[in-house]
Structure 1
Amino acid sequence: MNIPLIRLLNQQLVSPIFGSPLEVVDWMGAVQAQDPRAARWAIGLRMKLPALSTVEQALDEGLIVRTHVMRPTWHIVAAQDLRWMLMLCRESNERIFRSYFKSMSEELSQEQCGRAFDVLGDALSGGRSLTVAELEPYFAERNLPHAARQLHAYVLMAENSGLVCSGRLRGTQNTYALIDERIAPQPELSREEALARLACKYFRSHAPAMLEDFVWWSGLSVTEARRAVALIADELTVERFKGAVYYLHDACRIRGRMAGTVALLPPFDEYLLGYKDRTAVLPVSFQTHAFTNYGIFFPVIMHRGQLVGNWKRTSVRPASSSFPPPTVSFFRTDLQPSEDALAKAVASHGAYLCR
């Protein structure tokens, strides 16, 4: 089983089949999004015609939204999926948030949360999208604590409750809007329906993948992850490879070509971060070049399915329409792309920025 090839095909990094950001995000289930700029490239990279303006338009219109969902960290998800994803994650996310607040000496009572949610509802009603700084006076007016860390806590809890999500784009600033004003109502799913849908999205886009990978990616307990896999068992093929059990979804592509394929992957990209075991594309001896023990992921160069180097942008949106090429370096001396293949990958990223 050629794990890198099958993952490249189903992660849409080779021969992508989707033309819009919504289609990409819907297929992937979720795209990690700590770094907004990197997350936009992660989506654009998987489109037939990568275009930053198209990704930004989808975010601005609320077709896809950026919020805290699984584990719980920043993700971009399809707007229509947000409510049922939050339903799956809400309880475990709240435990993690409250533990974090306690460690920061910033515990929130239910009464405080209720008051904060009322403030957010009033401040954002009427389709407004506001930054945290713009929300601060509303909390001050209601005599609620409004230091930066307290505002951060209110917003995290409001995201987790299903009250707010990302609003309209405002340059590099994150804004918040009311979910019920930004996202049309959707049919409610039972927990089992939601588990099955999440498993389907993960295994069709990340296959071949193991149960342990799904547990890591989703933040579900092992018990619930097993249940999710069982719910879609008739859609999955089990493959045993080098002593491990992998799942492939019926919707997966398993045949294609990756000869000479090179891509500049952003930090926190799903091709690496979407798995607990990353050794199929990055041997342990090279992993410090791609991520740290503290969960920081770096931009990497992918060649023939393997991660072989690092890259870094040298400029941020200059006034001109051209972008200087990124700087590149290689940590795999045994696997280096040709100059032409690397130049093509660099040109693709530059074209994405200018479209």
Structure 2
Amino acid sequence: MDSHQVSAARLIAQGLIDSPRSETVTALSVVRHLGCVQAQALGGALVSIALRTGTSIAAVRAAMDSGAIVRTWTQRGTIHLTAAEDLGWILKLTGQRTLKSVAKRREFFGIDDAMVDAAALLAEEAIRDRGPLTRQELLNAFEPLQAGKDYGHERYLITTLALRNIITQGPMVDGKDDMKYVLSADWIPNPVDLDTEAALHEWMRRYVLSHGPVTIDDAARWTGLPKTPVRTAIAAAVADGEIVEDTIEGREHYQAPELEDRLHESRSGANKLLLLPGFDEIILGYKDRSATLDPEHERIVVPGGNGMFKNTLIDETKAQATWKRSPRKTGPRLIIDPFDDGAVDTDRAEAVASTHPAFD
């Protein structure tokens, strides 16, 4: 495999391009396969999953309501979707590390262990009494603490409880791209329990299989974990034959053993046009995004480097433009802004939009 094939291989590994070996997938199997799905923009995350299942957003929302998928701050201090049963062992890897990284911020807002313990009791009482709660309903339950109403007070109180795996986000809020808070122990009755070594091995195995070809740098950046344990876990997966190592233009990469064959089988499909939401894993899942997104165009996709990603149009395995929905009720569905005044096949893009889950 050469660098020009890396983006196509990643599109296949992530389930955005079908191959003759593809099997029927569900929202849960997509989330489990990817390891975690960034969900800062929840509406976009639902679209990302629907694109990989070939179903509607309504079907994805139903999977969320079933309890199979939860949303919380799994890695890098950023909120993600993950399989509910895997939440405990993922937070075992990342929770304390994230809590330590924001300890000074919690201290600044006056959130100490005693307050967190009291908040946990209030959350348990309110949720068990009233069922899943919206963010505001949960904050209302915390009023006896008099913790303050600044965003920082609210954020760090909630995220601390989440990182301790006391609460998580479970069912959807009706009619909104938002989720309600539940008690992890009650919402997830049969969590998978893995020790630290087994947990990191499993997480890295999934990451490589679903995102490969990837480097150690990619994996460390995605997890927010140090390179040494990441490298050890990946080496163990290679030794077990679960993943393989490949040298691409002088750099070590890791991928699924069958990915080369799938790339050959899906050669024509790899050139399909895709309309992806801004935080899709094909862009967010790597430290080095250059295989899919030219570094010169990254400032367009992430204007000002503010962490907010625009929707991207992928064609011939490369990001070619940003896009958004047209506000007009008639005429073209899309407003497309090509990079560098490049040509985009708008007819093909409109055809894709006609069956796209974001336009349901």
User: So what's the TM-score if we normalise by structure 2?
Assistant: 0.89
Q: Please say if 1:206 is aligned against 2:217.
A: no
Per-residue deviation, 1:65: 1.1
Give the Cα separation in 1 of the matches to 2:145 and 2:291.
54
- Deviation of the 1:92 alpha carbon: 1.1
Counterpart in 2 of 1:153?
156
Q: Cα distance, 1:86 vs. partner?
A: 0.6
> Quick one: distance in 1 between partners of 2:99 and 2:213?
31
> % of aligned pairs identical?
27
Distance of 2:271 and 2:6 partners within structure 1? 17
Task: Give the 3 Å change call, closer, same or farther, for CA 21–324 of structure 1 in structure 2.
Answer: farther
Aligned pairs, how many?
344
Q: 1:184 aligns with which of 189, 193, 199?
A: 189
Distance in 2 (alpha carbons) for counterparts of 1:62 and 1:127 = 17
Amino acid at match of 2:156: A
Q: Distance in 1 between matches of 2:140 and 2:358?
A: 38
Q: Which runs of 5+ in 1 are unaligned?
A: none
| Paired position in structure 2 for 1:131 | 134
AA partner of residue 295 (structure 1): G
Match of 2:249 among 242, 261, 264: 242
Q: Does 1:270 align with 2:276?
A: no
CA deviation map 1:215-271 (0-9, x unaligned): 000111111111211221232221111221111123543331235411111011110
Aligned partners of 1:308 and 1:332 also within 8 Å? no
8 A Cα contact 1:162 1:179, kept in partner: yes
CA 1:306–1:75: 2 relative to 1, 3 Å: same
Q: Name the amino acid aligned to 1:27.
A: H
Matching residue within 54, 67, 73 for 1:68? 73
C-alpha change, 1:92 and 1:18, in structure 2 (3 Å) is farther
1:269–1:323 distance in 2 versus 1, CA, 3 Å? farther
Residue number in structure 1 paired with 2:352: 345
- Quote the Cα distance in structure 2 between the aligned partners of 1:325 and 1:183: 40
Q: What's the offset of the Cα at 1:126?
A: 5.2
Residue aligning to 1:91: 96
Q: TM-score, normalised by structure 1?
A: 0.90
Rate the CA distance shift 1:277–1:128 in 2: closer, same or farther, 3 A: same
CA 1:251–1:72: 2 relative to 1, 3 Å: farther
2:28 to 22, 28, 35: 22
Q: Which residue of 2 aligns with 1:289?
A: 300
Q: Which whole-Å CA distance do the structure 1 matches of 2:58 and 2:97 have between them?
A: 35
2:154 is paired with a residue whose SS is: helix
**In the aligned structure 1, how far is the partner of 2:171 from the partner of 2:49?**
18
Aligned residue number for residue 334 of structure 2:
326
- Per-residue deviation at 1:345? 1.8
| Distance in 1 (alpha carbons) for counterparts of 2:104 and 2:236 | 32
Corresponding residue for residue 230 of structure 2: 225
Q: Distance in 1 between matches of 2:253 and 2:340?
A: 27
| Correspondent of 2:321 among 309, 312, 329 | 309
